[in-house]
Structure 1
Amino acid sequence: MTLTLCLPLLAVLLQPTLCLYNCSSQYERTPDNSDLIVDCGTSIITLEINLCTAQWAGFNSTDLALNGNHNHSECQGSVDDSVDPPIIRYQLQVNDSQNNPCRQSLQIVDEVPDPSGPFSSFSSIQSVIITGYIDTPRSAQGVISYSTDLYYHFSCRYPLEYLINNTQIVASSVSVATSDNNGTFIDTLKMSVFNDSDYSYPLVVPSTGLELRTKIYVEVKAVNLTGNFHVLLDHCFSTPTPYNMSQSEQHNFFIGCTVDQKTTVMNNGLSSVARFNFEAFRFVQHRDQAKSSIYLHCILRLCEPSKCQVLLSACNNNRRRRSLAPFGEESSDSATVSVGPLYTAREDSSSAAAYSANTASEKDGVDVTGLVVGVVFGSAAAALLVLGGWFVLKKYYWMGGLSRAFD
């Protein structure tokens, strides 16, 4: 009788989790790769583990922890039984700091860009690889064990170079979300244009276009930038049409340390915000148009503050460090942000912008009157020349006839 009662109790003790959740028989198997789902977010990595297969293996949610930190409750997951099958959900901070008890492995690696991709001109690009694992405590000490252990390995790849192009604005600024299948360190790359040096008032382009040589202030910002990274603009330029890979006509504001004389770089590589300004111009190909359109583009990278300083110091040292994906050359950490079109007025109409509409009309009237008077006088002079010539010829023939009569 006692033995009969103990056997069910023993079974419960040996597999304490089997009856906790109602799991389908299809999950009565050894856990595999399909039981782990990874979401590489901007600031949090979210992991979901199939609870049923872990339960079948003889473990509950408290037996599994991030990166071997079984003594930290914040490194354990939470059960969500509202989905089918039930899952254990973990959240891991992307920032690898001392304040993160579930710290993971973070490594910056150099990569060769795709020769047919947008960064084909870069010598190398960089990415951050974050790796970690979720496991159960070691079942036994010694050389061998007959008990089951679980180990879930994951990795997230975060590129440090980004490409956003062909973004069009209507008035002042544009905000474009950036993401890929692997993950990104930023929620949004934002390029905005302003009309003041404090970057407080968005640029409003009049219907006739901006007057030539108007100062335009550009700000590129990485919103919700995770980790200790700064924004470094490698190359900012403009095109008369939306950007494409085969773009042949462009105006460079700056490439690395080389800055156009009408461009001033205010802040670059020092924070999550980069700023520069330039004077409005027109593309010569728009000479027969009332307005010239300008599309702005910037290739940028995310870099650690110390590496940003090393890259920027090359400008002062008049040399480039080839091992660091040179500043101004596209690298694995780069992206392109575009904004446009902005419109500038045609060159012959820019001088009238400083006067009122009435003054401009009067000026145009004076010019037309002068033209009419000139045409009238010119015609009269031509008529006088013709008449004078006719009289000279007539006199010549008359004198000739008279001389023949004396003969």
Structure 2
Amino acid sequence: MEVAGRLFLWTVLAASCGAQLNSTVAEGRSKCTASVGGANLGETHKALILQPNADENCTWTIERPENRSIRIIFSHIQLDPDGSCESENIEVFDGSSTDGPLLGKACSKNDFVPVFESSSNSLTFQILTDWTTIQRSVFIFYYFFSPGTLVPNCGGYLQALEGSFSSPNYPKPHPELAYCVWHIQVEKGYKIELKFKELFLEMDEHCRFDFIALYDGPSTTSGLLKQLCGRGQPTFESSSDSMTVVLSTDYANSYRGFSASYTSVYIEDVNTTSLSCASDKMRVIISKSFLQSLNYNENNLQLNDPTCRPSVSNVIEFSIPLHECGTIKKIEDHTITYTNKISFTKAPMSALITRQKHLQIVVTCEMEYNSTVEILYITEDDIIQNESALGKYNTSMALYDSSAFENRLQDSPYYVDLNQTLFVQVTLHTLDPNLVVFLDTCQASPTPDFASPTYDLISSGCSRDETCEVYPLFGHYGRFQFNAFKFLRHMNSVYLKCKILICDTDDPTSRCNQGCVSRRKRDISPYKWKTESVIGPIRLKRDRSASGNTGLLPQTHEAEISNQPLSHLRLFSFMVLVLNVLVVAVAAVKYFVNQRMDHRYQKLQVY
């Protein structure tokens, strides 16, 4: 009887679980039929697979709560490929009906992943199909979000000639409901080569859930190069000087995300030379056609240090370290300049005459304010040409687990206890060994925009908090520690922002060597080499459960697309295992209780 009862219980549970899974799939997989006419949607996030028939015209409306915005993503559209966008399309409106402002239109001919955001309390989309009888499918994902909530390291503008970036939290699982846009812009005359060191997103044939969209241009409507997901290490190249990278994630199944780097590839044209400056090197491009017009070739070129040679492809490229290859550093009036010279070897000493022009290219990078000012001097028979551009210091700020500053913390948000000691390091990424970082000001704020209120941890190089300890100057690193706190009458998130100064160790009068200076005694002109870094949020551990799912653990999609039999089998096996454990536990408890009861109430023998 006991075995029969257990089998009956397993059967009931398996049937109920199967029914629940089937109902979930039915909820996520909705057909847009003329008889249904669409629906009203109010869940905080939802995935839908719509399979419209021929000659459909139905409308869906999404209602949101106050102080939230709606983002809707059409990550896969399979409509009539031969139909026109006028006869078969998806239109999105800002409001509760199709009478509201038109946000945009999508169809099979779109060369981008359609994404729309509503500023009102509702959003409406309408699907219109023609008479053609084909199989159609539209995957839609929407969710509500707060416009003021920022995901750290999510998107931005990359304007150096080369650089790297990664998904938020990398190499840990990416956050849920993230939409990040990176705009890569290099100088004119270059194109972009983008390499993924690692790509690890949810696998799907059409990349409908978590995906990366690459665009060949400065915006998300510039032309889709590829929609990526799954695993791999692909490489892409733009056709111009700009590229846009989008990361979109849903509410389930978070993986490592991605890590990518890019470099700029020179496109040879009529331009003669170009110069760009980074935190650790100068980059000079010289056109081969320009050299040929002067009857020179790359073997005639040399730097101050002739052992440093250029790389040659379709152009000649010098990558000149700021502290090597004969580069001269000069410190004057709180300004650091790095200068080198590209010269052309002269004719042999035995020659009496030459018909070649004497040409020198003097390249100078001047570090000033929150940027790198680039100046290019070309002297050709006493003719001087100037060229300049702007760049930024390459700095970063991170939390560490101890005063050794060895293990960088990757969690975002980072959960702490009140009064826990936090260790912060600001890093300047450069190869110049004589530069040091000085922490001028560090502030805390409950919001990422650092609107009121703010709290000073460090000001004018002085500690303003009783628990804050500023470490001595240590090369390219600015370090301090303080005890965690929260802002009263505010959310329990804390963001940190530090303004730093960059000095040369050979300048004894620099601001960095003056240390803490009170405001009343301070009489220093505005310092030129400065920048700032931001990190956050930091939250209290007790608020972890209140913040909801962090997106680090896999969940089940509302729209389950594949592997349904496998999911049934796994769930049934798990339930069988749990029931067996429960039965064994109950039997063991019952046995020990009976033993104990027999001992306590043993009958006396009668003689």
TM-score calculated relative to the size of structure 1: 0.52
Q: Is residue 104 of structure 1 aligned with residue 327 of structure 2?
A: yes
Opposite residue 59 of structure 1, the aligned amino acid is Y
Deviation at 1:267, TM superposition (A): 1.7
Give the structure 2 partner of residue 190 of structure 1: 396
CA distance in 1, matches of 2:286, 2:416: 57
Q: Determine helix, strand or coil for the equivalent of 1:284.
A: coil
Mapped partners of 2:348, 2:413: distance in 1? 77
Equivalence map 1:194-209=2 (5 Å): 194-200=400-406
Match of 2:496 in 1: 296
Q: Secondary structure at the match of 1:52?
A: helix
Residue 5 of structure 2 is matched in structure 1 by: none
Deviation at 1:140, TM superposition (A): 10
Task: Identify the match of residue 34 of structure 1 among 255, 271, 283.
Answer: 271
In structure 2, the CA distance between the partners of 1:258 and 1:33, relative to structure 1 (3 Å rule), is: farther
Greater Cα offset, 214-223 or 191-200 = 191-200
The residue number in structure 2 matching 1:213 is 419
Matched, 1:131 2:339: yes
Residue deviations 1:275-294 (CA, integer Å, cap 9, x gap) = 211122221231xxxx5111
- In the TM superposition, residue 150 of structure 1 has moved relative to its aligned partner by 2.3
Aligned residue pair count: 256
Q: Shift of residue 274 of structure 1?
A: 2.0
Shift of 1:229: 0.5
C-alpha change, 1:346 and 1:45, in structure 2 (3 Å) is same
1:90 to 289, 312, 318: 318
CA spacing shift, 1:33–1:265, aligned 2, 3 Å: farther
2:284/2:317 contact within 8 Å kept: yes
Aligned to 2:95: none
Aligned to 1:157: 366
- Structure 2 runs not aligned, ≥5 long: 1-268, 373-387, 544-607
- Alignment partner for residue 464 of structure 2, among 246, 249, 260? 260
Residue 242 of structure 1: CA displacement? 0.9
Aligned with 2:447 (options 227, 241, 244):
241
CA deviation after TM superposition for structure 1 residue 334, in Å: 1.4
CA displacement at 1:138 relative to structure 2: 5.1
Looking at structure 2, the residues matched to 106 and 208 of structure 1 have their Cα atoms a distance apart, in angstroms, of 41
Q: 1:282 to 1:49 in 2, by over 3 A?
A: same
| Residues 146, 250 of structure 1: alpha-carbon distance in 2 compared, 3 angstrom cutoff | same
> In structure 2, what is the equivalent of residue 342 of structure 1?
538
Q: Give the AA of the match of 2:528.
A: S
SS in 1 for 2:492: strand
Q: Which has the higher helix share?
A: 1
SS at 1:263 equivalent: coil
- How far 1:54 sits from its partner (Å)? 1.7
State the distance in 1 between where 2:345 and 2:412 align. Answer: 68
Instruction: Note the 1:356-367 alignment, pairs <5 A.
Output: none
1:65 aligned onto 2:274: no
The Cα shift of 1:106 comes to 2.9
**Inter-partner Cα distance in structure 2 for 1:207 and 1:270:** 28
The one-letter code of the counterpart of 1:339 is I
Counterpart of 1:27?
A: none
Q: 1:162 to 1:300 in 2, by over 3 A?
A: farther
Report the CA distance between 1:316 and its aligned residue: 7.1
Classify 1:145/1:324 alpha carbon distance in 2 versus 1 (closer, same or farther; 3 Å): farther
**1:161 Cα shift?**
4.0
1:277 aligns with one of 481, 496, 506: 481
Identity of aligned residues (%): 21
**Matching residue's letter, 1:340:** G
Q: Secondary structure at the match of 1:58?
A: coil
Partner of 1:332: 528
Alpha-carbon spacing, 1:307–1:109, altered in 2? closer, same or farther (3 Å): closer
Going from structure 1 to structure 2, the CA distance change for 1:222 and 1:315 (only over 3 Å counts) comes to: closer
- 1:8-60 superposed Cα distances (whole Å, 9 cap, x missing partner): xxxxxxxxxxxxxxxxxxxxxxxx99211223244332322122232232223
Code of the aligned partner of 2:280: S
Contact 1:230/1:308, CA 8 A, preserved across alignment: no
Deviation at 1:230, TM superposition (A): 1.0
Aligned counterpart, 1:26: none
Query: Any gaps of 5 or more consecutive residues in structure 1?
Result: 1-31, 111-125, 164-179, 326-330, 348-407
Counterpart residue identity of residue 271, structure 1: G
Q: CA deviation at 1:194?
A: 3.4
Query: Once the two structures are superposed, what CA deviation does each residue of 1:65-105 show, in whole Å capped at 9, x if it has no partner?
Result: 224x6xx3x2454542xx2xxx333232211xxxx4x4234
**Higher relative contact order by CA 8 Å / sep ≥ 6: 1 or 2?**
1
Q: Is the 8 A contact 1:133 1:151 kept in 2?
A: yes
Deviation (angstroms), 1:228? 1.4
> Is the 2:504–2:510 contact (alpha carbons within 8 Å) kept by the matching residues of 1?
no
Task: Decide whether aligned partners of structure 1 residues 51 and 40 sit closer, same or farther in structure 2, where only a CA change above 3 A counts.
Answer: same
Matched with 1:47 is 284
Please, what is the CA RMSD of the aligned residues? 4.0
Question: TM-score by structure 2 length?
Answer: 0.36
1:230 and 2:426 equivalent? Answer: no
In structure 2, the partner of 1:305 is: 505
Which residue is equivalent to 1:148?
A: 357
**CA distance in structure 1 between the aligned counterparts of 2:507 and 2:443, rounded to whole angstroms:** 24
CA distance in 1, matches of 2:414, 2:316: 60
Q: Secondary structure at the match of 1:54?
A: helix
1:162/1:299 contact within 8 Å kept: no
